[in-house]
Structure 1
């Protein structure tokens, strides 16, 4: 079965289309900025502050592992949030679900800024931190999937890769803002940083919530979901469908995300903890955080560029280049981090985030929504993104910090770990068909399982997609 896009966009004839495309881009970008501001900030704080303030200090190394465990808890909650809100997004529409998730995610992040510490309330401090981290992850579980689907469904077909990547500038902006803010507060005297300075960035989340709510309240529903409603094709049981017909796409999507998501959090958080273990307490933590900031600054340009290139040469090609680059970069990167040179570490982290990770993120923005049919697209993207977030990003912090603790900072083990994630993603690019310019009104998935007519059982088949210039 073949199909082509024969129309530029379902909403192209609407005189308000350009205005709504701009509004959708802004709404998605602000939400992405808030999510990644919170997560990057939490990651930076995990390695350098939370391990000291929220956990007993009998064994500092194990306190760091425990702190990263709370970081991982947020990832555990994300698939459940994606399941709940992804289902609602496919039944009720994309717009209002994104309003709910921004409130839940941003509200939890703001409350972290007012939590009492271990010295004030004992074991209740880590308990409350875990609860808020769970709520933060639950809301984030559908936020990024919703932003991805929203922009892919709004974007013009021939430039879908570029437009779908634009909101992910919000990811870079949020991560950049977190890195800059953290670097600035690190300039405070240690007693002020540990007493009140670390709280300020979390409290700033409230400002981003207000901005996001104002924009999203005026957003119109996506043209593709409007078409579903018009033809009475809204799926009543998207959960059942995604774990049957849509399961192959979810599995491949998880594989595609292992290097991008896992590599991102290894460079953003684990690299800092590893560097501190190498250099010791005298490590310049504020300066080191500039590596994350610089990588995010590069990403503001590299993400939309990678998305635009994928509009010309295909999603898989660009994605595969990013995965292979990370595979080759893993060993020299962690070896250079082990040398203990702060400026070299800043460059290593910046290249890892800005080039390796974001070369995959650029085409992913359009590729993920193109992989799933219209009736369960939101849920499919959410499940692929958030299950992989547990297996890649969440596990990277816990397992990585444990490796650092028990191996006394053996860089080779961390390099092997990152290379394994990159290898999984590289292999996954061979399991998905090219999705460039796929019609998003289609209800079937790009990756699917059909029953063999030869009696050999069930075999995986990929759908041929014919590409034409609109």
Structure 2
């Protein structure tokens, strides 16, 4: 697993310089590759509450228990993400970003095809949920290495002043993948119940193969990260264990990054996984309509994330993320009131408030916020660790916690979720507040090194 696997045509210009063409290709590759990865990962999330409880668990089981177990398997994918992040971060910091991203995309595609071809509980019994757990864990490993690698490939190919926006291009692969996943699944959800559960839900998973081929081609053509090339030429790439350096050199930065990511990621998973079956269960809208509402909000989300990231390039990561936290606290109760209104248009508006406003306002700058906490030679591992552990605390636990909180005997229902979210956002905001402003850090570090070198020369 060596950087020598790259083709001669893909070698960056001398001294790690990059051209505008290289930058554009890196942005497109990161965006489309991340889109494919999250299409596969979130397709499972969308199906977890609608399909899997009926197909991969015993028909004699309580449906509520089947849904809960399906969410447990969903959590298994999130738990494995930090492991994947550390694994691929290790090799990405030692040998480069490009090859790792090729491998993660290939893994994701193979797993989705396997899920699409899986026999049900009726055919193979308890082996069905066990195989589903294994495939979900492999998915988590792949996504764990994908997010940081794609974000860094985009951010490290552009100038410092544009890194927030560039990093967000890869981050928008998440909502874009969600749009594709919910749109395709929603189209097939309009089939008669028997046809949908028999074969309709499988087609979106199998369609992943075509997307993976396109993504692999683009990743084959992209150049290696110029920041990594410069670090390697300067002898700054170490032969040790990157995770140990990250834990030793950046303990507080890592902790603040984890906590900062947890709040917005909770809202992301809550909307993508829990709220669709929840609003369907109230009888206000049907399954297909709920999926289309989520799809529409995810589409707007694609543009909201870069907007807030662009603001962070202008005003700093901390001010934008702290303002996003305040917006989140102010809007979460109105959002749930709309979800519970029984009104078609208010439920649709609730998804719009939740994704493009509450979630994106704090999540948009997160790629650059995390990447700028770490030096180049430790960055892949550091970003993977912080984001993926944050995803376990936030997104991975969201469906299970929401199910438990709604069912509490105090009768507060979704208000319990709202209060929990406010507490989590408060922790995330505190972590952002305690963090140093990272916008322009590379320029400041470069100036400091040049001043030190000049002083030593004298």
TM-score by length of structure 2 reads 0.90
Q: For 1:15 and 1:250, how far apart are their aligned partners in 2?
A: 29
Residue 101 of structure 2 contacts residue 149 of structure 2 at CA under 8 Å; is this kept in 1? yes
Q: What secondary structure is seen at the aligned counterpart in 1 of 2:172?
A: helix
1:101 has 2:93 as partner:
no
RMSD between aligned residues: 2.1
Match of 2:352 in 1: 350
Residue 304 of structure 2 contacts residue 364 of structure 2 at CA under 8 Å; is this kept in 1? yes
Residue 81 of structure 2 contacts residue 388 of structure 2 at CA under 8 Å; is this kept in 1? yes
For 1:331-346, what aligned pairs fall within 5 Å after superposition?
Answer: 331-346=333-348
**Cα 1:14–1:74 shift into 2, 3 Å:** closer
Q: For 2:236 and 2:159, how far apart are their aligned partners in 1?
A: 23
Match of 1:238 in 2: 242
Residue 94 of structure 1 contacts residue 222 of structure 1 at CA under 8 Å; is this kept in 2? yes
Runs (5+) with no aligned partner, structure 1:
1-9, 444-470
Residue of 39, 42, 53 corresponding to 2:41: 39
Residue of 216, 221, 245 corresponding to 1:218: 221
Q: For 1:248 and 1:418, how far apart are their aligned partners in 2?
A: 23
TM-score by length of structure 1 reads 0.88
**Displacement, 1:16?**
5.7
- How many correspondences in the alignment? 432
Q: For 1:122 and 1:14, how far apart are their aligned partners in 2?
A: 54
Match of 2:269 in 1: 265
**Displacement, 1:235?**
2.1
Residue of 73, 76, 79 corresponding to 1:76: 79
Residue 274 of structure 1 contacts residue 409 of structure 1 at CA under 8 Å; is this kept in 2? no
**Cα 1:316–1:12 shift into 2, 3 Å:** farther
Q: For 2:382 and 2:62, how far apart are their aligned partners in 1?
A: 42
Residue 405 of structure 2 contacts residue 414 of structure 2 at CA under 8 Å; is this kept in 1? no
**Cα 1:16–1:392 shift into 2, 3 Å:** closer
Residue 315 of structure 1 contacts residue 363 of structure 1 at CA under 8 Å; is this kept in 2? yes
Q: What secondary structure is seen at the aligned counterpart in 1 of 2:305?
A: helix
**Displacement, 1:346?**
2.1
Match of 2:278 in 1: 274
Q: For 2:17 and 2:302, how far apart are their aligned partners in 1?
A: 30
Match of 2:169 in 1: 166
Residue 260 of structure 2 contacts residue 429 of structure 2 at CA under 8 Å; is this kept in 1? yes
Residue 289 of structure 1 contacts residue 346 of structure 1 at CA under 8 Å; is this kept in 2? no
What CA deviation, in whole Å up to 9, does each residue of 1:310-333 have, x standing for no partner?
111111111112222112222222
What CA deviation, in whole Å up to 9, does each residue of 1:60-106 have, x standing for no partner?
11111111111111001101101111111000101101111111122
Match of 1:130 in 2: 133
Q: For 1:208 and 1:440, how far apart are their aligned partners in 2?
A: 37
Match of 2:199 in 1: 196
**Displacement, 1:306?**
1.2
Structure number with the higher helix fraction is 2
Match of 2:442 in 1: 439
**Displacement, 1:273?**
2.9
Match of 1:287 in 2: 289
Match of 1:4 in 2: none
Q: For 1:278 and 1:226, how far apart are their aligned partners in 2?
A: 55
**Displacement, 1:215?**
0.8
Q: For 2:351 and 2:14, how far apart are their aligned partners in 1?
A: 41
**Displacement, 1:14?**
8.0
Residue 33 of structure 1 contacts residue 170 of structure 1 at CA under 8 Å; is this kept in 2? yes
**Displacement, 1:404?**
3.4
**Displacement, 1:15?**
8.2
**Displacement, 1:39?**
2.6
Match of 2:254 in 1: 250
Q: For 1:380 and 1:11, how far apart are their aligned partners in 2?
A: 27
1:17 has 2:19 as partner:
yes
Q: What secondary structure is seen at the aligned counterpart in 1 of 2:223?
A: coil
